[in-house]
Amino acid sequence: MIKLLCLFLAFLVTGIMPLACTAEETPSSPKELTILTHDSFDIGAAVIAEFEMEFNATISIMKGGDAGEVINKAILTKTNPIADILYGIDNTFLSRALEENIFIAYRSPLLDNVPDSYHLDLGNRVMPVDVGFVTINYDHALLATKGLAEPETLLDLTDPSFKGTLVVQNPATSSPGLAFLLSTIAQFGETGSYTYLDYWRDLKDNDVLIKNGWSDSYYGDFSIHGGTRPLVVSYSTSPAAEIFYSEGKYTTPPSRIITSTDSAFMQIEGIGILQGTSHEILAKHFVDFAMDRTFQEDFPTRMWVFPVNKLAVTKGVFADFAEKPATSTRLNSDSIAKNRNRWIKEWTEVVIR
Amino acid sequence: MMTHSWKFWGAFLLIIFLAFTVVYPLISILNLSFRGNSNMVWIDVLTDNYYLDTLVFTTWQAIASTLLTLLIGIPSAYAFARYNFPGKRLLRGLTTVPFVMPPLVIALGFIALLGEKGIINSLLQSMFNLDDAPLRLMNTIYAILIAHIIYEFTIVVRIVSTAWANLDPDIENAARMLGASQWKVFSKITLPLLLPAIIAAGSLIFVFTFTSFGVVLILGGANYATLEVSIYTLAAHLLELPAAGVLTVIQMTITIVLMAFYARYQQRAALSFNLVPNKATTMHPRGKFDKLLCVSNYIIVLIILSPLVALIVRSLISDGHITLTGFTNLFSNERDSFFFVSPLQAITNSLLFGACTVAVAVPIGIISGLLLGNSANWRKALLDSILMLPLGISAVTMGFGFLIAFNQWGLNLTGSWTIIVIAHATLAYPFVLRSILPVLRTITPSLREAAQMLGASKGNIFTRIELPILWRGIVVGAVFAFAVSLGEFGATLLLHRPEHTTMPIAIFRYLGQPGESNLMQALSMSCILMFISTVGFVAIERLRFRNLGSF
């Protein structure tokens, strides 16, 4: 029996070895393209199948955590890349990744269909692929019950009447949380009589609740899903998604967003080919494919972000209710890269510790 | 010659396994973290008051969680060990259900039950005509401690009750007859004999809560951080690897040292005595005291499970109406997502990973248990604590370690199904080890000697004597291994292909998008996870193999 156990263990250890060998690719067998992306990535099965058919490829998707974690994983493994493509690097993490030189430059011909304001990198190491806006969502019905006016600007949230109504995410652990912090920095600045830290002190005095992740704040604390707080940091498309996923219950959104100038933060997500890929040509095809209409028109009601391709047409609930805040703050991504950790630390000192 | 060879080979294989799954990834990531001149980082981190506070908080909340769980769990373990009552096996199966639930789901159950608009606050408000919710537990230390008790309760119940069930009641009866008071019998006889099991359970709970991550991250809000949460923030989001590395080393050192002391203490506390079959020690509740104990046991378990009950209720109510749409929607892929899996597929995947994990973790746990065996010395204690490392090392660090370590020489991480099982088994075997060690150490050496004198071979002694006695411990270990696999999340998320989606991964996917239908599907999938795991636990407990399982 003991011998049997040992034998089993020996079998196990030798069983690990085959992992070290991957199948040899013959010319006719499909090539495997691995895409590293964040947890929120979603796309139609038919869209992926179309690419696989056309290019005799197999797509493998690796989800490495939220946007920030994914970039860091790509940077950590740059000497032995874990994927061929990274999908979902946004302007808050761009410079860091570019400094680490993890991408191969490739200018997709489809970039011509993308408005200049969405271009991410002059060196073409990252191609823009989708865009989203982080802003305050609010439960207007509850505000009305409480006799509160609907907030119009970020500054309104410091008004004592909004005490205990807002839940935001920790910028040290959450992408939307970081985007919201950046929007306050862009709006209030670091110098002058009222800095972003003064703003956060006021929010803190107004009993802002800080959660570590989007899911726990949105489903745990936001009032439309059983929480008690009528204001939450989320995406500008979340009200439209609420209709889409309501099984016909809502015909108008149960929540609204603050749309005033400079209250939202624009997150442009990009796609890049990772250095060290052995499928460079196929990867380039995929970049083109992701920027093309089929792909761009498929993801809006899955990832709840806007297409960047001018020719892409959105449909249904997304077209009717997804709002693009008119102007949105956009900090220079170099300055974000340079200051991100310092800002987060300063914020943590003021708000949490 | 033969007598030494199995130990040698067992140890050899164990070392290879550990080196491959734990040491090599750990060294890879630490090597990368401390590349270059990193002495300053040590000084920076060690002199930063924030990290000192974090360490203090991490330690005291772990101690508090361990003591509270033991306090609540031991009476329950007694009831499970000594009485036969209706639905006993099911009830014990249910205690392990929270163990597999993702912290995010437990948090939602908490909110449904104890939130300001939750069931209890609504009841209190209507009973006492209050305007505001009287109970405000969310985002406080109490929420963290309660969640830890809910998660770890089953560890005490299972490990302590297994030992208690084999304790000869005659020893206690004799003492009673000689005039000892009930308290004296408990403190001088029962407690010392149970101590190895209590310590085993306590050490597991301590390590678990010391490295607590999801519970603190989600239920504590941003105001509380354990070392593990700090490591996560530093490594995963700020990419300050050197500082994360320092914290990892600190966390690991503390766990190894504490576990070595625990192991040493456990060796000393272990008394060998005659174990009796579980049948001889259990009885039907007769007196008032017995019945009271059994009834309160039902109540304790119900309270432990109440957030999950609230969740089941919530999964059936949408917009004030009772509905099953959450469940029915799970089965339709109307939006044709690349990541869609049917719930049946997710259940199958979870069960397959669980079964494989049990098959791998149980032999490893038994071999490590036999290696640590009866001899008691510091070397063995250190080996014991090193064997517990998978639970004591930062999971975040290990995740990065796996990525770096196993992404070389043409290894392909994403495609491999086996690496998920290996990751699960690495996290699971310490439970098997802890479950069998207290039993193994109480086997009287004279039993073995007698068998040897009668001419039994080593192998015969193992299969005829040790294995039957160990069987219940092995079953407990198997239940935990299964539970660890069913609930595992971090490694699976990174390594799985869509077709390998497990139940927790599916839940997580739904909770990543806004909208009632997503929430309902996540809750419905959680209910399915609860049901499947209960069935699994009860089924494993019923496992019999020839004469095995009757002890």
Q: Across the 551 residues of chain B, what is the mean pLDDT of every consecutive 10-residue run?
A: 64 84 86 76 83 93 96 93 88 92 89 85 85 81 93 92 82 84 84 86 90 88 89 86 90 89 79 71 80 91 93 83 81 77 88 93 90 77 85 81 74 69 90 85 78 80 79 88 89 76 89 86 92 90 64 57
Same domain, A97 and A177: no
Within 10 angstroms of residue B408's Cβ, the number of other Cβ atoms is 12
Q: Which residue among B222, B336, B514 places its CB closest to the CB of A241?
A: B514
Which of A19, A142, A163 is best to mutate for the B interface (most B CBs within 10 A)? A19
Distance from CA of A192 to the nearest CA of B (A): 28
Which of A1, A11, A318, A352 is best to mutate for the B interface (most B CBs within 10 A)? A1
Distance from CA of A351 to the nearest CA of B (A): 9
The confidence score (pLDDT) of residue B288 equals 84
Same domain, A243 and A303: no
Q: Which residue among B314, B493, B514 places its CB closest to the CB of A234?
A: B514
The confidence score (pLDDT) of residue B37 equals 64
To the nearest 10 degrees (0 to 180), the angle between helices B378-387 and B343-372 is 170
Token pair 């011909």: residue: A109
3-class secondary structure, A266: strand
Per-residue HEC secondary structure of B348-400 comes to HHHHHHHHHHHHHHHHHHHHHHHHHCCCCCHHHHHHHHHHCHHHHCCHHHHHH
The confidence score (pLDDT) of residue B549 equals 54
Which domains, from first to last, does chain B contain? 1-32+323-551 (1.10.3720.10), 39-315 (1.10.3720.10)
Same domain, A219 and A157: yes
Same domain, A221 and A347: yes
Interchain contact A50–B (C-beta under 8 A) = no
Per-residue HEC secondary structure of A71-139 comes to HHHHHHCCCCCCCCEEEEEECCCHHHHHHCCCEECCCCHHHHHCCHHHCCCCCCCCEEEEEEEEEEEEC
Same domain, A92 and A35: yes
Tell me which chain B residues have a C-beta less than 8 angstroms from the C-beta of A96: 239
Q: Which residue among A2, A42, A242 places its CB closest to the CB of B337?
A: A42
Backbone angles phi, psi at B286, to 5 degrees: -115, -60
**A77–B339: do the CB atoms touch at under 8 Å?**
no
Please indicate, yes or no, if residue A79 is contained in any of the structural domains.
yes
Amino acid identity of residue A272, one-letter, is G
Which of A245, A344, A347 is best to mutate for the B interface (most B CBs within 10 A)? A245
Q: Is the dihedral of CA A47, A50, A55, A57 positive or negative?
A: positive
Cβ-Cβ contacts under 8 Å between A and B: the total is: 217
| Interatomic CA distance for residues B484 and B396, integer angstroms | 17
Please indicate, yes or no, if residue A19 is contained in any of the structural domains.
no
Amino acid identity of residue B235, one-letter, is A
Please indicate, yes or no, if residue A22 is contained in any of the structural domains.
no
Question: Looking at chain A from residue 1 to 30, which residues have their Cβ under 8 Å from any Cβ of chain B?
Answer: 1-3, 5-6, 8-10, 12-13, 15-16, 19-22
The confidence score (pLDDT) of residue A27 equals 55
| Interatomic CA distance for residues B281 and B77, integer angstroms | 14
**B512–A209: do the CB atoms touch at under 8 Å?**
no
List A270's β-bridge partners, or say none.
A89, A128
Tell me which chain A residues have a C-beta less than 8 angstroms from the C-beta of B360: 12
List A136's β-bridge partners, or say none.
A233
Please indicate, yes or no, if residue A309 is contained in any of the structural domains.
yes
Interchain contact A248–B (C-beta under 8 A) = no
Interchain contact A229–B (C-beta under 8 A) = no
Per-residue DSSP letter, A160 = G
3-class secondary structure, A306: strand
3-class secondary structure, A236: coil
| Interatomic CA distance for residues A128 and A125, integer angstroms | 10
Please indicate, yes or no, if residue A3 is contained in any of the structural domains.
no
Same domain, A125 and A171: no
Q: Is the dihedral of CA B177, B183, B186, B189 positive or negative?
A: negative
Please indicate, yes or no, if residue A8 is contained in any of the structural domains.
no
Please indicate, yes or no, if residue A6 is contained in any of the structural domains.
no
**B32–A39: do the CB atoms touch at under 8 Å?**
no
Same domain, A304 and A335: no
Q: Which residue among A9, A73, A344 places its CB closest to the CB of B403?
A: A73
CATH number for the domain spanning A274: value is 3.40.190.10
Interchain contact A249–B (C-beta under 8 A) = yes
The confidence score (pLDDT) of residue A20 equals 41
Q: Are B281 and B165 in contact (CB under 8 A)?
A: yes
Q: Which residue among B9, B338, B364 places its CB closest to the CB of A45?
A: B338
Which of A94, A99, A219 is best to mutate for the B interface (most B CBs within 10 A)? A219
**B410–A22: do the CB atoms touch at under 8 Å?**
yes
Same domain, A166 and A217: yes
Per-residue confidence in pLDDT tens, chain A, 353 aa: 556 666 666 665 555 544 444 444 455 678 889 999 998 899 999 999 999 999 999 998 888 888 888 888 899 888 888 899 999 998 888 888 898 999 999 999 999 999 998 999 989 999 999 999 999 999 999 999 999 999 999 999 999 999 999 999 999 989 899 999 999 999 899 999 999 999 999 999 999 999 998 998 999 899 998 788 999 999 999 999 999 988 888 899 999 999 887 788 999 999 999 999 999 999 999 999 999 999 999 999 999 999 999 999 998 899 999 988 876 556 788 888 889 989 999 999 899 87
The confidence score (pLDDT) of residue A17 equals 46
Same domain, A261 and A237: yes
Tell which residue, B489, B475, B468, has the closest CA to residue B431: B475
**A19–B418: do the CB atoms touch at under 8 Å?**
yes
A13, closest residue in chain B (CA to CA): B17
Same domain, A221 and A121: no
Distance from CA of B129 to the nearest CA of A (A): 19
**B237–A173: do the CB atoms touch at under 8 Å?**
yes
Q: The domain containing residue A223 runs over which residues? A: 132-266+326-351
Within 10 angstroms of residue B204's Cβ, the number of other Cβ atoms is 24
**B339–A42: do the CB atoms touch at under 8 Å?**
yes
Same domain, A225 and A136: yes
Q: What is the pTM of this model?
A: 0.88
Q: State whether ipTM is beyond 0.90.
A: no
Per-residue DSSP letter, B330 = H
Same domain, A115 and A126: yes
Please indicate, yes or no, if residue A296 is contained in any of the structural domains.
yes
Structural domain count, chain A: 2
